[in-house]
Amino acid sequence: MDSYEVAVIPGDGIGVEVVDAGLSVVERAAADAGFEVETTRFDWGTEHYLDRGEMMPDDGLDRLRGFDNIFLGAVGHPEVPDHVTLHGLLLPIRKGFDQYVCKRPNVLFEGIDSPLRGYGPGDIDFVVYRENTEGEYASVGGREHRGFDHETAVQSALFTRRGTERIVRAAFRAAAEREGHLTSITKSNAQAHSMVFWDDIVAEVSTEFPSVDVERLLVDAAAMDLIRRPHEFDVVVASNLFGDILTDIGAQITGSMGLAPSGNVHPGDANPSMFEPVHGSAPDIVGDGVANPLATVLSWSMLLDDLGETAAGDALWSAVVDQLAEESAPRTPDIGGTAGTEDVVADLRSRL
């Protein structure tokens, strides 16, 4: 029997709740498809930090390196500043394994009411390819003269040719396989260095993909158009920060943060990829037992696809779609129900 080794990092807050819930579903899907997912749990996160002064051990990346893939819940805790926790755990994994594609599908499923009037099942279906290793998250900068009135903080964005070309090319490839429509997001009216560079690279790479039509949007207009005409988007390619912001909009117009999955991947690379729900640790609902586990289950579906186990990946995805389509099935409060996390995964297991 095929067996895969997956490192599981539940992290903080509802990350732990949704990861635990999701595992029971994945184990069932794997058993059905005749393979095994062996998980190794790493209790890294803010509790670990409060205990030992580090979010993960110094050799954390080395410990993860040999796994087939990684699953992460969420990171972030009200008692420790976010820049400490995120730069101690989530961001170093994305960057350390050079997971330059952050792939974030946004689909309006049957049974989900979009807050946008007139949108029904399937009317919204696009995927964001977010650059995931550089851009505005490059950690270039510093803060000087603390406390003086001439105190300064500099936070520069770094765009390399290699980094930009590869995310743009990955997005073109995806568009060629989907509807053939790519939207490139910039702010090249104001940011005349990095974003004009990005535009130039999009124009260059576009010559390799004659079947793909390219639309360029400024990020402010894109935020508007994701609300005004989301049905026209197919593949969206954006820098690290712009992709982050637009995917929260994408999650909300397709129902909830609790439904939005993601994968951080380096296509063709031997290092593990990392899959995670788009949402955070949600301190406002932690402990209430109502966190929506579906973003986690859909992220597992993407993880299994990445391992080549597409039948099991499809089975998980379909179980979620079927559950949402059935009016009497349990659903969590973020999507209009009254059920708890456990009810939702128990129902999912019964569908596999």
* CB of residue 264 to ligand NAD, shortest distance in Å: 10
**Alpha-carbon gap, residue 27 to 23, rounded angstroms:** 6
Q: Is 90 in the site for ligand NAD (CB under 6 A)?
A: yes
Among 56, 70, 74, 246, binds ligand NAD (CB under 6 A): 74
Q: What residues between 129 and 188 interact with ligand NAD by CB under 6 A? A: none
Q: What residues between 2 and 21 interact with ligand NAD by CB under 6 A? A: 14, 18
* CB of residue 14 to ligand NAD, shortest distance in Å: 6
- Chain contacts with ligand IPM (rule: CB under 6 A): 86, 244, 278, 280
* CB of residue 68 to ligand IPM, shortest distance in Å: 22
**Alpha-carbon gap, residue 310 to 14, rounded angstroms:** 27
Question: Tokens 């009216």 belong to which residue?
Answer: 189
Task: List Cβ neighbours of 246 (8 Å cut-off, separation of 6 or more).
Answer: 128, 185, 219, 222, 223, 226, 236, 238
* CB of residue 244 to Mn ion, shortest distance in Å: 4
Q: Exactly one of 98, 213, 248, 343 is catalytic; which is it?
A: 248
> Binders of Mn ion: how many residues, by CB under 5 A?
1
Name the CA radius of gyration of the chain, rounded.
Answer: 20
Question: Tokens 């099991």 belong to which residue?
Answer: 312
Closer residue to ligand NAD in complex, CB, 76/313 = 76
Q: What are the phi and psi torsion angles at 129 (to 5°)?
A: -100, 105
Decide if 294 contacts 256 (C-beta within 8 A): no
Among 25, 212, 282, 320, binds ligand NAD (CB under 6 A): 282
Q: Is 292 in the site for ligand NAD (CB under 6 A)?
A: yes
Decide if 301 contacts 338 (C-beta within 8 A): no
Decide if 157 contacts 267 (C-beta within 8 A): no
Stretch that binds Mn ion, among 107-115, 242-250, 263-271, 314-322 (CB under 5 A): 242-250
Q: Which of 25, 22, 39, 20 is nearest to 272 (CA)?
A: 39
Q: Is 244 in the site for Mn ion (CB under 5 A)?
A: yes
Tokens of 257: 């943060």
* CB of residue 58 to ligand NAD, shortest distance in Å: 21
Looking at the DSSP bridge assignments, the partners of residue 274 are 70, 264
Alpha helices in 66-184 (DSSP H): 82-88, 90-96, 161-177
Q: Is 281 in the site for ligand NAD (CB under 6 A)?
A: yes
Q: Exactly one of 125, 234, 244, 305 is catalytic; which is it?
A: 244
Residue 184, SS3 per DSSP: strand
Q: What are the phi and psi torsion angles at 212 (to 5°)?
A: -100, 130
* CB of residue 232 to ligand IPM, shortest distance in Å: 24
Task: List Cβ neighbours of 310 (8 Å cut-off, separation of 6 or more).
Answer: 304
Closer residue to ligand IPM in complex, CB, 10/280 = 280
Q: Largest Cα–Cα distance of the chain, in whole Å?
A: 66
Residue 248 among the catalytic residues: yes
* CB of residue 69 to ligand NAD, shortest distance in Å: 16
**Alpha-carbon gap, residue 39 to 255, rounded angstroms:** 30
Looking at the DSSP bridge assignments, the partners of residue 104 are 128
Among 111, 250, 280, 330, binds ligand NAD (CB under 6 A): 280
Stretch that binds ligand NAD, among 27-35, 59-67, 127-135, 287-295 (CB under 6 A): 287-295
Residue 244 among the catalytic residues: yes
Residue 187 among the catalytic residues: yes
Closer residue to ligand IPM in complex, CB, 183/239 = 239
Residues of this chain that bind ligand NAD (CB under 6 A): 14, 18, 74-76, 82, 86, 90, 257-258, 276, 279-285, 291-292, 295, 332, 334
Would you name the residues annotated as active-site residues? 137, 187, 220, 244, 248
Residues of this chain that bind Mn ion (CB under 5 A): 244
